[in-house]
Amino acid sequence: MNQESARIFDDTGYLKVRVYTALGAIPLEGVSVKIGTSGEGAPSVAYDLITDRSGETETVALPAPSRELSTAPGARQPYALYRIEAYLEDYGAYSVLNVPVFGGILSVQPIGLVPSAAYGAEPPAARAGIGDASELEPLGE
């Protein structure tokens, strides 16, 4: 990580991935989940995780900009962007781009996978979405 990145990403945010099928009714266990950097200038981070029986990965710590940036209008982008790739045999692959992670906040990224049988014999090559940070939870201070 260069000195500029260290100055920009001087806080820590947290990310958990929740993978399911059947519109959220059934959690998927054993999904391979990879987390890496997405934004320019972001420090290189890589996690290779597997979902548990509740369809969730462990919570991981990621470099993020200082939370004070979110209170200063016109300041730099107050969050870091990450990429998530999920894969499970018989379901195919799914990528989520630009998942925002804020300093001091736990972000939970939901990913819905569809069984390959729904597509016929072959699943689509890879599907992609844009992170919506629909579930943000402040961490205890």
Q: Grade residue 3 by pLDDT with cuts at 50, 70 and 90.
A: very low
Number of H helices, E strands in the chain: 1, 10
The CATH number corresponding to 3-132 among 2.60.40.1170, 2.60.40.10, 1.10.3430.10, 3.40.50.2020 equals 2.60.40.10
Percentage of the chain with pLDDT > 90?
Answer: 48
What does the domain layout of the chain look like in residue ranges?
3-132
Task: Specify the 3-state DSSP secondary structure of 133.
Answer: coil
Average confidence (pLDDT) over 73-85: 84
The band of 18, judged by pLDDT with boundaries at 50, 70 and 90, is very high
Of 88, 89, 70, which Cα lies nearest the Cα of 80?
Answer: 70
Q: Give me the pLDDT at residue 5, please.
A: 46
The average pLDDT across 73-94 equals 87
Please tell me the predicted confidence (pLDDT) of residue 105: 93
Q: Which residue has the tokens 């969730």?
A: 56
Q: How many residues does the chain have?
A: 141
- Tell whether the torsion through CA atoms of 60, 65, 66 and 67 is positive or negative: negative
- Give the mean model confidence (pLDDT) for residues 29-45: 79
Q: Predicted confidence band at 113 (pLDDT cuts at 50, 70, 90)? A: very high
Q: Is the pLDDT of residue 2 over 70?
A: no
**According to the model, what pLDDT value does residue 117 have?**
75
